[in-house]
Amino acid sequence: MACDLLKDLMDSGYRAYLGIYNSIIGGLCNVKHVYKAYKLFEVTVQDGIEPDFATLNPMLVCYAEMGKMDDFCKLLEQMKKLKFSVVDDLEKFFEFVVGKEERIMMALEVFEEIKGKGFSSVGIYNILMGALHKIGDVQKALSLYGEMNDLNLELDSSTYNIAIQCFVETEDIQEACACHNEIIVMYHVPTVAAYCSLAKGLCKIGEIDSAMISGDAEKVIEVINEMMQEGCHPDEVICSTIISGMCKNGTLEEARKVFTNLRERQLLWEASTIVYDEIFIEHMKKTIADLVLSGLKVFWSGIQVESKGLYTATALKFYSQMLRAKGCMLLSGGSEKPVQISFAEESVGCKNPQASKWSGGDDDDFGGGGGGLICVDAG
């Protein structure tokens, strides 16, 4: 009826404008009369009316749904002749098609058909990768990512943002981190979704400090309450932030109080509380080990004497103060002592007694003033 009305108007001298043609073409495609729509498209061109993407998209979608790829490609060639930016319009086409989940696989099939004819771009790959990730088909999304690399295409930050989430879901955290680094090299910032995904992935493998930008252990419960008011419930990232912050402050019992509070408020299952407690203990061990290693490096490079295994009291005093400043109490009566320190007035068991002489003050950390030797037994 609309076509007949348009014909009557044109016979009476009326010249339709593009909006009317687009509406009729869209209606014809909705009822799968795509060939009539194409004829009307040819009429617009003959009348000197310049068609736009809205004119062509309904026909492209209809050809794709009907599986008529020869006609689809023919229309693309027609678009090239009319000086359309075909690749840009195809990006719009794919964005439109994947808007409905049931059409995502169809979009992938169309792309497989046309990419060999030169109709492809990083933008199209990104659209399809994002759509596949959305429906959980991570392997197909990563397959497209691998294809882009094989073709030596210039990937952009959008590509890497999607790839980060896909790699995390396949537990390939190393590749996810590599994608993150590529974004940084571009002087871009990952999306919030990519950041959250990567942070959760790092937390799951115990790389808590890598996942956290900062961790403040003070008033943790109050901060969680504020977050809850904003609708943000504790997840892996938040719990790992607590662990990171508590480790930096060396407060094992305070950390347990926080997780107990979350469990009592039914924000964590009891099993989850036990798991996070174990993660905390392991991370605390790692943090302390890093502190000791850091101190040993400073100690070794700055205050080493010629004799192996022999250190001055001034050096150990400095080392002790440094560790305490960092929150480590290993040299303050801890039950586990990786280093055994012994004092002697004579150079018993030391290879170079002359290098070990020192003069301490009354406030010396190691038990009083006077001179003597310090031998370190690492066994």
Alpha carbon of residue 218 to chain centroid:
27
- What is the reported pLDDT for 228? 67
- What is the reported pLDDT for 308? 45
- What is the reported pLDDT for 344? 40
- What is the reported pLDDT for 269? 64
- What is the reported pLDDT for 142? 98
- What is the reported pLDDT for 316? 46
- Beta-bridge partners for 306: none
Q: How far, CA to CA in Å, does 199 sit from each of 85, 156, 159, 166, 173?
A: 39, 21, 18, 13, 10
- What is the reported pLDDT for 215? 41
Q: Taking phi first (over 0 means left), then psi (-120 to 50 degrees means alpha), and beta for anything else, what does residue 13 get?
A: left
Q: How many CA atoms lie within 13 A of 356 on its CB side?
A: 23
- What is the reported pLDDT for 30? 94
- What is the reported pLDDT for 370? 40
Say which DSSP state 360 is in.
E
- What is the reported pLDDT for 6? 58
- What is the reported pLDDT for 121? 96
Q: CA 328, CA 296: separation in Å to the nearest integer? A: 13
> Which residues of the chain are under the pLDDT cut of 50?
9, 212-218, 302-316, 318-320, 323, 326-379
Give the largest Cα separation in the chain, rounded.
Answer: 121
Task: Measure the N-to-C terminal CA separation of the chain; round to a whole number of Å.
Answer: 96
Per DSSP, the residues of 184-217 read HHTT----HHHHHHHHHHHHHTT-HHHH-S----
Q: In this structure, what token pair is assigned to residue 206? A: 């115990």
The CATH code belonging to domain 2-185 is 1.25.40
- What is the reported pLDDT for 153? 95
Per DSSP, the residues of 128-156 read HHHHHHHTT-HHHHHHHHHHHHHTT----
